[in-house]
C-alpha cells in the first residue's frame, strides 16, 4: 500500500517539484496539495493523508498553527515541516505543535524520502543542524521559563495576530475566520493588552519574531 502524502507550500513551483519527485519514489503518492494553511486544513480533513509536508510561512494560516489543528483533530497524523528557516522559533514551534519532522529546503530529495519513511513508523526526523537548535532550546528551558505566544495567546488570538500582521483589515479578518467584526475587535484588544503592544507595526514585528509570519509571506 502506498504512503499517501499531502503537500502544502505557497509557491506553485515547489509543490509541483515535490509532487514530481515523490511520485517517482516507489510506494509513495501525492493525494493533494494546497497553497496556504486554511486550504490545507480543509483538504487534509477530507483526504486523510498519511503524511503532510508543509511549509511554515504561508499566508492566511501559518504552518505551525495549521499543524497544531491537524494534530488536534488527528493525533496520529504525521506532519513534516519543509522550510527555509532554521531559526529556533520556527523549529521549536513546529515540534511543539506536533510535527514529526523538520527539513530545510536546501536538503536533497533523498532526505525527504528518508524522512517520510522515518515518520511513518512513528519516529522523528530532523535535518542535520536542526537537532542542535532543539537541544539548545531544551537546555534553555531547563534553566529559565519563557512566556511565548503559544502560552500567552489563545489559538484564535494567534490567528488574528497573524492576519493583522499580514495587513488584513478587521472586515477581511472577520470574513476569513467566519466571525463578527466586533469579535475581531475584541480579540485585537485582548492581544494588545496581553502583549502590552499597542501599534500594528510593533505587533507585526512581534509576530515575525515569534514565527507566526515572515517578511516574505
- Same domain, residue pair 105 and 157: no
pTM recorded for the entire structure: 0.72
Dihedral sign of CA atoms 59, 65, 68, 72 in order: negative
Q: Mean pLDDT for the chain?
A: 88
**Cα dihedral 204/129/115/75 (nearest 10):** -50
pLDDT over threshold 80, residue 136: no
Confidence class for position 202, pLDDT limits 50, 70, 90: confident
Is residue 216 domain-resident?
no
Confidence class for position 216, pLDDT limits 50, 70, 90: low
**Cα dihedral 44/48/49/55 (nearest 10):** 20
CB neighbour burial string for 145-162, b if at least 16 within 10 angstroms, e if fewer: eeeebbeebeeebbbbbb
Domain containing 72 equals 3-141
Average pLDDT over residues 186-209: 88
- Same domain, residue pair 57 and 130: yes
Instruction: Say if CB 57 and CB 83 are below 8 A apart.
Output: yes
Dihedrals phi, psi of 165, to nearest 5 degrees: -65, -25
Read off the CATH number of the domain in which 166 is found: 1.10.10.10
The tens digit of pLDDT for each residue in 142-158 reads 555 445 555 688 989 99
Q: Distance between CA 1 and CA 162 in Å, rounded?
A: 39
pLDDT of 35 reads 94
pLDDT of 137 reads 64
- Same domain, residue pair 105 and 42: yes
SS3 102: strand
pLDDT over threshold 80, residue 183: yes
pLDDT of 37 reads 92
Average pLDDT over residues 40-59: 94
pLDDT over threshold 90, residue 215: no
pLDDT over threshold 70, residue 49: yes
The tens digit of pLDDT for each residue in 77-130 reads 999 999 988 887 788 889 889 999 999 988 888 899 999 999 999 999 998 878
Q: Above pLDDT 90, what percent of the chain?
A: 59
Dihedrals phi, psi of 9, to nearest 5 degrees: -160, 140
- Same domain, residue pair 9 and 50: yes
- Same domain, residue pair 153 and 100: no
Burial group, residue 124, by CB count within 10 angstroms (0-12, 13-18, 19+): middle
Confidence class for position 17, pLDDT limits 50, 70, 90: very high
- Same domain, residue pair 130 and 178: no
User: Residue holding cell 507585526?
Assistant: 204
- Same domain, residue pair 73 and 93: yes
Read off the CATH number of the domain in which 58 is found: 3.40.50.2300
| Longest Cα–Cα distance in the chain | 53
Confidence class for position 138, pLDDT limits 50, 70, 90: low
Distance of CA 170 to the CA centre of its chain: 23
pLDDT over threshold 60, residue 217: no
Per-residue cell: 104:
530545510
Question: Looking at the 3D structure of the chain, how many domains does it have?
Answer: 2
Amino acid at each position: 500500500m502506498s504512503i499517501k502524502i499531502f503537500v502544502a507550500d505557497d509557491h506553485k513551483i515547489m509543490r509541483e517539484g515535490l509532487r514530481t519527485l515523490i511520485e517517482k519514489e516507489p510506494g509513495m503518492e501525492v493525494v493533494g496539495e494546497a497553497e496556504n494553511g486554511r486550504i490545507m486544513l480543509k483538504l487534509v480533513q477530507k483526504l486523510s493523508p498519511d503524511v503532510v509536508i508543509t511549509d511554515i510561512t504561508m499566508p492566511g494560516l501559518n504552518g505551525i498553527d495549521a499543524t497544531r489543528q491537524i494534530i488536534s483533530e488527528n493525533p496520529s497524523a504525521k506532519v513534516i515541516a519543509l522550510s527555509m528557516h532554521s531559526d529556533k522559533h520556527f523549529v521549536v514551534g513546529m515540534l511543539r505543535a506536533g510535527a514529526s519532522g523538520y527539513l530545510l529546503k536546501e536538503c536533497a530529495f533523498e532526505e525527504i524520502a528518508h524522512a517520510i519513511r522515518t515518520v511513518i513508523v512513528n519516529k522523528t526526523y530532523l535535518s542535520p543542524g536542526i537537532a542542535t537548535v532543539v537541544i539548545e532550546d531544551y537546555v534553555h528551558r531547563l534553566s529559565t521559563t519563557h512566556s511565548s505566544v503559544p502560552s500567552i495567546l489563545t489559538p484564535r488570538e494567534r490567528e488574528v495576530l497573524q492576519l493583522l500582521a499580514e495587513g488584513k483589515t478587521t472586515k477581511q479578518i472577520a470574513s476569513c475566520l467566519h466571525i463578527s467584526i466586533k469579535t475581531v475587535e475584541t480579540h485585537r484588544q485582548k492581544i494588545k493588552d496581553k502583549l502590552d503592544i499597542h501599534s500594528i507595526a510593533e505587533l507585526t514585528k512581534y509576530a515575525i519574531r515569534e514565527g507566526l509570519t515572515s517578511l516574505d509571506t
